[in-house]
Structure 1
Amino acid sequence: MDIGSMPPVTRLWAFSSLAVSLAEHISLLSRYSLFYSPSLTFNLTSPQIYRCITSFLYFGEFGIDFLFHLFFFIRYSRMLEENHYAGHTADFAWLVVVCGSLLLLTSPLITPPLPFLSSPLAFTLVYIWSRRNRHIRLSLFGVLVITAPYLPIALCAFSWILTGSAQAVKGDLLGLAVGHVYYFFADVWPREVRSGGRHFLKTPALFTRLVEGRPQPAPNT
């Protein structure tokens, strides 16, 4: 896993996730200071806004489940950024911001609430990649050959087998739901006659200037 060869957004996220997980593993950080809780994050007297970010950087304790989710996050984040957003770093960063914001809004609706949103966001990226590459056939763990649209469900099933946790699968399924919402409004709706060509999720020019220093034309999706 050569982090240096990754595109910028994926590289920053991967490096930060590894750093946070390592810091927690050697007790420099506590997972209790990382998880997302609306009551702590938006506390009026002492808000902890940083939790909106740290909850996306912690993939759990080192182990098989950690490696499983981190591997698929890096793989499909990288393929999305390199193949669909090459030269459009701000657009991919905006995708992550939008999907992350949707997860922050919807995760408290899950019972019990999801404390960490790194895995759901990874599954969001897997879903978007699978919809944009629907005709690709791939081998899953060298055992099962499937077409890309079935990949998210197959990975959810494997995640459930791996962890035996219904709560973890709820998070993965929430990630798929958010991915579907993003895919619909970014890829499907703008092509509908009723949309009038409006693109609700277009990257704001200000965000593009902040990330890239200059406006960029929209990528081909």
Structure 2
Amino acid sequence: MLQQIITDIPPLTRIMCFLSIILTLLTYIDLVNSYNLYFNFKLITQNYQHLSFYYCKFFYYKLIQNQIKSYRFSRRLEEYSFRGNTIDYFYFVSFASIFGLYNLSDSFLNMILYLWSRKNSNIMVHIFGIIPIQAPYITWFFVFLQIIFQDTIITDLIGILVGHIYYYLTEIYPKLPLSKDVNILQTPQYLYLKLKKKKKKFLKIYLISTRICNLLHLRINQNQELIEEEIQGDENNQDGFFAFGF
């Protein structure tokens, strides 16, 4: 059951969500120093720590709220709006990093939320399961909440702006006559080729992990069957009494 739920999550969304949880736990129990995870442009350009684009800002005070929003809307965006094309979605996340939007930051999440709402403008969303809102207005609803709670809205507006830039360049501009059907932000071909070369390595890792899970699952089932047989035998020997101390 749990394995099926995990495998149903699109790849990039799964990686972002699980890394955030794992890194948070590791810093909480002091196995990892949080100063090693903060965003430092010099470390990226000079020491080639490119992954800082994706794991920084995990330790935000609204981590749980942001984690839920990231899981729900990032999954829907990758799975449906990008039609499960993980490479295109990866390129979209990389595009966000150019503007200084990093995983689980308010700006990053609002960018995802805005793009999803524009691509699914006809969907009705129920906030907190109660308030019905048309999808295009959901980002502005959260901005309104920030104003009510006297929190800054600059980061939210930056995320909305970057999301609109991406939406305009990929959905609106290519349809204009002056664009000549050219998509400026089309995923580069070299990125497809580079990631496809590494696909075999990921498949090997996936197969190994799947076999381990299957072996563990088989072992658990065998132990469960043995326990059930022992309990059944004890019940038969006890002439109707329970087998636990009676």
Task: State TM-score, norm by structure 1.
Answer: 0.77
8 A Cα contact 1:3 1:15, kept in partner: no
Please give the root-mean-square deviation of Cα atoms over the aligned residues, in Å.
Answer: 2.5
Please tell me whether the aligned partners of residues 40 and 48 of structure 1 are also in contact (alpha carbons under 8 angstroms): yes
Question: How far apart, in 2, do the equivalents of 1:38 and 1:86 lie?
Answer: 33
Count of paired positions: 194
In structure 1, list runs of 5 or more residues that go unmatched.
105-115, 215-221
- Deviation of 1:118 after TM superposition, in Å, equals 2.3
> Separation in 2 of the partners of 1:154 and 1:183?
20
- Residue 185 of structure 2 aligns to a residue whose secondary structure is coil
Structure 1 distance, partners of 2:196, 2:49, is 28
Query: Which of residues 36, 39, 45 is equivalent to 2:39?
Result: 36
1:100 to 82, 97, 106: 97
Q: Which residue of 2 aligns with 1:127?
A: 114
Counterpart Cα distance in 1 of 2:60 and 2:68: 13
C-alpha change, 1:35 and 1:173, in structure 2 (3 Å) is farther
**Is residue 67 from structure 1 mapped to residue 64 from structure 2 by the alignment?**
yes
> For residues 84 and 28 of structure 2, what CA distance do their matches in structure 1 show?
35
User: Could you tell me how far apart the structure 2 residues matched to 1:117 and 1:88 are?
Assistant: 19
Equivalent positions of 1:11-26 (< 5 A) are 11-26=14-29
1:111 paired residue number: none
**Relative contact order, CA 8 A, sep 6+: which one is greater?**
1
Measured against aligned partners, the alpha-carbon deviations of 1:58-87 in whole angstroms (never above 9, x if no partner) come to: 1525xxx22111111111110011112234
Contact 1:99 1:121 in 2 (8 A): yes
Which residue identity does 1:69 align to in structure 2?
Answer: N
Deviation at 1:152, TM superposition (A): 0.8
After TM superposition, the score normalised by the length of structure 2 is 0.70
Paired with 1:48 and 1:89, the residues of 2 have a C-alpha distance of 22
- The one of 126, 148, 169 equivalent to 2:135 is 148
Aligned-pair distance for 1:212? 3.6
AA aligned opposite 2:133: I
Deviation at 1:160, TM superposition (A): 5.5
Structure with the largest fraction of helix: 2
**Identity of matched residues, %:** 27
**CA drift at 1:95:** 1.0
When residues 91 and 47 of structure 1 are mapped into structure 2, their CA distance, relative to the original with a 3 A threshold, is closer
Does 1:55 pair with 2:42? no
- Rounded to whole Å, the distance in 2 between the matches of 1:31 and 1:157 is 32
Gaps of 5+ in 2: 199-246
- For residues 8 and 147 of structure 2, the distance between their equivalents in structure 1, rounded to whole angstroms, comes to 31
Tell me the SS of whatever aligns to 2:99. helix
Query: C-alpha separation between the residues in 1 aligned to 2:43 and 2:84?
Result: 37
Distance 2:35 2:179 in 1: 44
